[in-house]
Amino acid sequence: MGRFAPYRIALLLGQDLGYCRDVLSGILAHAEANRLNWTYHEDSPDKRVLPLLKRWKPDGIIAHLSDKKLARGLMRLALPLVSITHTFDEPGAPVIDVDHEKVGEEAARYFLSLGYRSFGYYGSREAAFSRRREQGFRLALERQGFSISPCHAEFFPRIPITENWSDMEKQAARWLHRLPKPVAILASNDLPARTLCQICRLSGLRVPKDVAILGVDNDSSECRLSSPPLSSIAIPSQTIGQLAAEMLDRMIRKKRLTSRAVFLPPQGVIARESTGLRSTLEPRLRDALLYIQEHAGKEITTGEVCTFLKMSRRAAERLFHDKLASTIHGELQLARIRLAQQLLLKTEFTIAEIAERAGFNNPRRFHRVFSQYEDCNPSDYRRGLAGR
């Protein structure tokens, strides 16, 4: 005979994070679609829930395991358990999450397509997912000849009550001011990304003109609370929930798991104002922007970009207009200006030498175009007088 009583499922997710709300939606969708006989208790992923959990006697648990004491307590229960975050190097339970290295790689591709040459990372040095996102970001940029400057602060996933957030903000502000501008920064999640936007505003730094900021999770609340609205890498949260429910169901029924760790690819950048409202969802456009960035120091033409794309000039210009509200010539100019900015800040080349290295055929034209973009001439920009 089959089981008539429903299985008791504890969902220790919390609903303050958009990620967890979306995972919950995925769990419920899978249970409903497969008519699982489940009843739920939903609570915060906090160690204080352990005594109540023992009395409730769940048949299985899906948890956002970001607290070590909670994780150890749940392990001692010896119940079917699935984690939806890879916060610990050895979570001790099957885990479903996004592929964190690929998140970092996605961020690198995105920023490179926009022509950035100065990069930073802001996130935890303790959480495994943050370290892996930083590593993916770093390695992807190193393959293109760039490095990153990190600043570490702990978000688990919120700022711990015991953490001195005032000191964290001061440390981040000092780091931001030291970075060569314009700089592109990947934050480990949307919350630290929103925090960075706030620190920039308080420090007199312009987002995205001085500092472009990209978060992770595409939490709509965090992205909208940010000023300016936050660009973010979307991750397959609902699919993570569905797979977590499927995995837990197999564990409850004592069926063999094909894998104890599943990491899904990210879903691309959702571009908003913190990075200039540009999207990488069109592969041909991304490839064209990378081509422009890689050849910024050469006097390539609009026609050469069209040849690279294997498109007519009319079709290529329409692509740039529809997706970027820009032109191929405008993107060529922007890439050259960004290269010139880095040369002005990092080298002792003369203005004439920088003009040549940045793909301008004469210093006078370079001076005119640079002044149009930056509201100051190259010499003033080098002396740090831009925008004053």
Q: For residue 154, give both structure tokens.
A: 């702990």
Amino acid 375: pLDDT: 74
Domain match, 321 and 340 both? yes
Q: What single DSSP character describes residue 275?
A: G
Return the pLDDT at 161: 43
pLDDT digits over 323-359, tens only?
Answer: 777 899 988 988 888 788 778 876 788 999 999 988 8
Same domain, 73 and 126: no
Q: Is the pLDDT at 164 greater than 50, yes or no?
A: no
Residue 385 clears pLDDT 60, i.e. is over it: no
Separation CA 141–CA 148 (nearest Å): 8
Q: What is the mean pLDDT of residues 298-318?
A: 92
Q: Looking at the structure, do residues 198 and 251 belong to the same domain, yes or no?
A: no
In a domain, 153, yes or no: yes
Task: Provide the token pair at 366.
Answer: 């370079």
Same domain, 123 and 213: yes
Is residue 369 in some structural domain? Answer: yes
User: Residue 316 to residues 110, 284, 320, 321: CA-CA distances in angstroms?
Assistant: 20, 10, 6, 9
* Domain-located, residue 181: yes
Residue 280: φ, ψ to 5°: -110, 15
Helix residue ranges per DSSP H, 204-257: 220-225, 237-252
In a shared domain, residues 71 and 191: no
pLDDT computed for residue 2 by the predictor = 55
Could you write out the DSSP letters of every residue in 115-159? T---EEEEE-SSSHHHHHHHHHHHHHHHTTT--EEEEE---SSSP
- Judge whether 54 and 64 are in contact, CB under 8 Å: no
The confidence band for 316, taking pLDDT boundaries of 50, 70 and 90, is very high
At residue 33, the 3 state secondary structure works out as helix
| Phi-psi region at 272: left, alpha or beta (left = phi > 0; alpha = psi -120 to 50) | beta
Alpha-carbon distance of 364 to 32, in angstroms, equals: 67
Phi, psi of 106 (to 5 degrees): -60, -45
Average pLDDT score over residue span 211-236: 91
Is residue 94 located within the same domain as residue 104? Answer: no
Indicate if 124 and 174 belong to the same structural domain. Answer: yes
In a domain, 33, yes or no: yes
Task: Say if residue 321 is in the same domain as residue 256.
Answer: no
Confidence of residue 156 (pLDDT cuts 50, 70, 90): low
Residue for token pair 């089959």 = 2
CA distance 85 to 92: 12
* Domain assignment present for 2: no
Instruction: Confirm whether 1 is domain-assigned.
Output: no
pLDDT exceeds cutoff 80 at 38: yes
Measure the CA–CA gap between 378 and 375, rounded to whole angstroms: 10
Please check whether residue 335 is in contact with residue 358, taking contact to mean a CB–CB distance below 8 angstroms.
Answer: no
Residue reference for tokens 């010499």? 379
For residue 149, what is the domain's CATH number? 3.40.50.2300
H helices of the chain, in order, are 18-33, 50-56, 68-77, 100-113, 128-142, 165-178, 190-203, 220-225, 237-252, 283-294, 302-309, 313-324, 328-346, 351-357, 363-374, 378-382
What does the alpha-carbon distance between residue 212 and residue 233 come to, in Å, rounded to a whole number? Answer: 14
Q: Element (H or E) spanning 62, and its range?
A: strand 60-63
Residues 137 and 212 placed together within one structural domain of the fold: yes
Do residue 127 and residue 186 come from a single domain?
yes
Structural domain includes residue 244: yes
Residue in 146, 120, 369 with CA at minimum distance from that of residue 354: 369
Tell me how far apart the alpha carbons of residues 369 and 22 are, in angstroms, rounded to a whole number. Answer: 46
In whole angstroms, how large is the CA radius of gyration of the chain? 24
Do 297 and 358 touch, CB atoms closer than 8 A? Answer: yes
User: What pLDDT score does 134 carry?
Assistant: 98
Q: What tokens were used for 263?
A: 């990491």
Q: Which domain holds residue 67?
A: 7-98+237-264
Q: How far apart are CA 292 and CA 297, in angstroms?
A: 9
Task: Tell whether 388 is covered by a domain.
Answer: no
- pLDDT, one tens digit per residue, over 180-206 is 988 999 999 999 999 999 999 988 999
Look at residues 275, 305, 327 and tell me which one is the last residue of a structural domain. Answer: 275
- Indicate the Cα dihedral angle 319, 324, 325, 330, nearest 10°: -90
Q: How confident is the model at residue 282 (pLDDT cuts 50, 70, 90)?
A: low
Across the range 69-98, mean pLDDT stands at 91
Residue 154 makes CB contacts below 8 A (sequence gap 6+) with 124, 125, 126, 127, 160, 163
pLDDT confidence of residue 157: 53
Co-location of 125 and 174 in the same domain: yes
Number of domains in the chain: 3
Q: Are residues 112 and 202 in the same domain?
A: yes
